[in-house]
Amino acid sequence: MVELENIEKRFGDHTVLDNVSLSVAEGSVMALVGPSGGGKSTLLRCINLLEIPTSGSVEIAGDRLEFRPGVRMGIKQIQLLRRHTGMVFQNFQLFPHRTVIENVTEGLTTVLKWPKDRARERAMTLLEKVGLAHKAEVWPSTLSGGQQQRVAIARALAPSPKVLLCDEPTSALDPELSGEVVDVLAQLAREGTTMVMATHDLRLASRIANEVIVLDAGVVVETGSSRDIFTNPKRERTKRFIATLTHEGHTHGEGI
């Protein structure tokens, strides 16, 4: 479903990702974890080309692009890959001047040119799925952070993307509200939604990820099942990182 090969990303002389490869099977969930600044959000953004890799290749659902230093990619080629993805951002990114349901229908009517009735029906189905159908006509500012993120998930799912990308989807929320979002993402995982998420939320990653990749300083330190990574990591760098997550979880009253 998603194949990244030998991805390198440089900002000037600074290498953020160094020869990173990963493969995500259809219907599976991959968590990208690691210390802040390790490159996990940049790698996630390379999948839908919000960040353009310096070199390497990205393939989603059979569409593949190769990148080389100094060679610019056309917008049509970028959109070809990007249309396979839905993106959930750390800070929701809802339109404040649109109601909840308008946030979900906006991309369908504006970009995909769906009729309004069809878009509204799709939006209501998704708001029902995330438990917010009763909030369809309110403004985002009246919602809690957890509710706003659930609306953002519904919006990302609206065009039926092949893969859902989540960039730290719970990090802006306190533990109680993040639980709402974890529950929704867990339900999507059970339904077979292909997901890649960058996260430091141990509860989220351990609960729903099939595979975990640990990134540090732009390189893959370790890969494995969520059970192996979180209970029996092999690399010392991974052990230190998991220890800090476990300590933070207990500090905030969270468990695995």
Q: What is the mean pLDDT of residues 212-216?
A: 95
Helix (H), strand (E), coil (C) string for the chain: CEEEEEEEEEECCEEEEEEEEEEECCCCEEEEECCCCCCHHHHHHHHCCCCCCCEEEEEECCEEEEECCCCCCCHHHHHHHHCCEEEECCCCCCCCCCCHHHHHHHHHHHCCCCCHHHHHHHHHHHHHHCCCHHHCCCCHHHCCHHHHHHHHHHHHHCCCCCEEEEECCCCCCCHHHHHHHHHHHHHHHHCCCCEEEECCCHHHHHHHCCEEEEEECCEEEEEEEHHHHHHCCCCHHHHHHHHHHHHHHHHCCCCC
Check whether 253 has a pLDDT greater than 70.
no
Q: What is the mean pLDDT of residues 134-142?
A: 97
Report pLDDT for 256.
Answer: 38
pLDDT in tens, 157-199: 999 999 999 999 999 898 888 999 999 999 999 999 999 999 9
Report pLDDT for 96.
Answer: 95
* Mean pLDDT value across the chain: 93
Q: What is the mean pLDDT of residues 251-256?
A: 44
Higher pLDDT: 39 or 175? It is: 39
Report pLDDT for 203.
Answer: 84
Report pLDDT for 242.
Answer: 86
Q: How confident is residue 251, by pLDDT bands cut at 50, 70 and 90?
A: very low
Report pLDDT for 202.
Answer: 83
Report pLDDT for 176.
Answer: 84
Report pLDDT for 5.
Answer: 97
What are the structural domain ranges in the chain? 2-84+162-251, 93-160
Check whether 105 has a pLDDT greater than 80.
yes
Q: How confident is residue 249, by pLDDT bands cut at 50, 70 and 90?
A: low
Check whether 81 has a pLDDT greater than 80.
yes
Percent of the chain with pLDDT over 90: 84
Report pLDDT for 248.
Answer: 63
Identify the CATH class of 2-84+162-251. alpha beta
Q: What is the mean pLDDT of residues 142-168?
A: 97
Q: How confident is residue 255, by pLDDT bands cut at 50, 70 and 90?
A: very low
Higher pLDDT: 241 or 215? It is: 215
Q: How confident is residue 200, by pLDDT bands cut at 50, 70 and 90?
A: confident
